[in-house]
Amino acid sequence: FRSGGEDFELVWTVSPEIAKRSRDLASKMLGHTPFCIGHIENGKGVYISDRWNNLLEITLQGFEHV
């Protein structure tokens, strides 16, 4: 897993209580079902799923423009 720049995708977070409703609305707007790619654990960090469905912590990753 790498982190860099110039890769663009639409990513958003929602609470578990509205996840299904958000997914249904996004499906209508996008014309396909969006993917769930990870989750945030309160006080623990931010995680993303790799292609084998393993969770990878990405809390402190990013790209710094200099």
Question: What's the pLDDT score for residue 61?
Answer: 64
Distance of CA 61 to the CA centre of its chain: 13
Residue environment code for 10-44, b if the CB has 16+ CB neighbours within 10 A, otherwise e: eeeeeeeeeeeeeeeebeeeeeeeeeeebeeeeee
Question: What's the pLDDT score for residue 50?
Answer: 81
Per-residue pLDDT in tens (0 to 9) along the chain, 66 residues: 566 666 667 778 888 899 899 999 999 998 988 888 777 777 777 888 888 888 888 877 666 766
Q: What is the DSSP string of 7-59?
A: ---------GGGHHHHHHHHHHHHSSPPPP-EEEETTTEEEEE-TTS-EEE-T
Question: What's the pLDDT score for residue 24?
Answer: 94
